[in-house]
Structure 1
Amino acid sequence: MGRAQTFDTQQVVRAARAVFWEQGYEAAALPALEQATGLNRSSIYHAFGSKRGLFDAAVESYLDEVVRPRLRPLTLDHVAPDALEVYLRGLRRALEDAASFTAAHGCLLINAAGAPIAHDQTVRDTVAAYRGEMRDAVGRGVRARFPQAPDAEAARVADTCAALVVAALALTRVDNAGALQSLDTALALI
């Protein structure tokens, strides 16, 4: 009979998420993951199957605990007319705060899209699904803000705002002022 698990899985995944978010999948060495999580290599492999299994759990945690709560007001049955502005301003505040993890490290999934792990089809599908989820939420915000806009115009504004959000999340690690300008441009559109 195996030993009982003596650690909080969510806490371990969050600790690993911070390492992957900061360093990227490839650079996140097992010793760094062991130190962050407090688990040894065999416990990581027993609980998650592999470093990649831990990464996949970290990505799900990121989506559920970081991305979706921020998008939630844009996905409700009734989206407030100012929901997109509130979302963009909240994201801007997060990127403007030099102490925030997002300002320093951008987006875990956008970072993965530019790394070698993006050659993995599952990662590519996850990044594409994330981008689609974010674009759909932004589209709902645009529709709530401009209920009378023609469909083509609303789609153009939503596509542009979503692209500016992606640009901001990609840029913040190296050009925070440029990231903030991207969000200011999105705010000016709406």
Structure 2
Amino acid sequence: MGRRQTFDTAEAIRAARGVFWQHGYEGASLPDLEHATGLSRSSIYHAFGSKRGLFDAAVESYLDEVVRPRLQPLTGAAVAPEALDEYLVGLRAALLRAGTLPATSGCLLVNTASAPIAHDDAVSQTISAYTAELRSALTAGIRARFPHLSPSAQVSLADACTSHVITAFALVRINPEYAAGALDSARGLIAAQAAEQVAPA
């Protein structure tokens, strides 16, 4: 007869997510994970198979509970013209909110991209899919804001904004003001395009 689970799986995953987000996969020790989740090592292995299994669950939790809710205004059936600028403003505020994981640790997946575990095929595919999801959302925002731009111009502007967002995630742990500046630059590109559209011929 199997052991009866006595803990909340989602809460354990969220707790582990914080450890991985702050320390990375390699830096997250099993004692740290045990302390954060309140689970013994045997319970972690019984529920998730391994530390890697817990990490995979934490990444899915990060995508579902952190990334996608913020992107939702850009991924729905109807995207408002101001949705992308509101996303950038909201992200800027989140990265500058002292004492929070976004402010101290940036993006779990951007961090993972520069870690040894990124060489794992499955992790690499997850990071690539995340980047594509982010780019797709920002492209939808550009299309909603500038519907009369050519498709190639829309994609080019979205790619530039995506690069600035990823740069912000990468820099926030080192220099929050530089991270904010990267997002301001993305907003500047959008403002410049808007000004160009209304400029007299």
Deviations 1:32-52 (A, max 9, x none): 000000000000000000000
TM-superposed CA distance for 1:78, in Å, is: 0.7
Secondary structure, counterpart of 1:80 in structure 2: coil
Deviations 1:144-187 (A, max 9, x none): 00010111111110000001000000110011111110000001
Partner of 2:139: 139
How does 1:144-155 map onto structure 2 within 5 Å?
A: 144-155=144-155
Equivalences for residues 1-190 of structure 1 within 5 A: 1-190=1-190
Please provide the CA RMSD for this pair: 0.6
- Cα-to-partner distance string for 1:92-148 (whole Å, 9 max, x where unaligned): 000111222101100000000000111101110000000000000000000000010
Structure 2 residue runs without a partner (length 5+)? 191-201
> What is the distance in 2 between the residues matched to 1:14 and 1:97?
20
Q: What are the superposed Cα offsets for residues 3-25 of structure 1, whole Å, 9 maximum, x if unpaired?
A: 21000000000000000000000
Count of residues paired in the alignment: 190
Structure 1: gaps (5+ residues): none
Q: Find the residue that maps to 2:39 and give its secondary structure.
A: coil
**Aligned residues with identical type, % of pairs:** 60
Q: Give the AA of the match of 1:163.
A: S
Q: TM-score, normalised by structure 1?
A: 0.99
Runs of 4+ in 1 over 3 A off after TM superposition: none
Deviation at 1:189, TM superposition (A): 1.1
Q: Distance in 1 between matches of 2:103 and 2:31?
A: 26
Mark the structure with the bigger radius of gyration: 2
Q: Distance in 2 between matches of 1:99 and 1:47?
A: 30
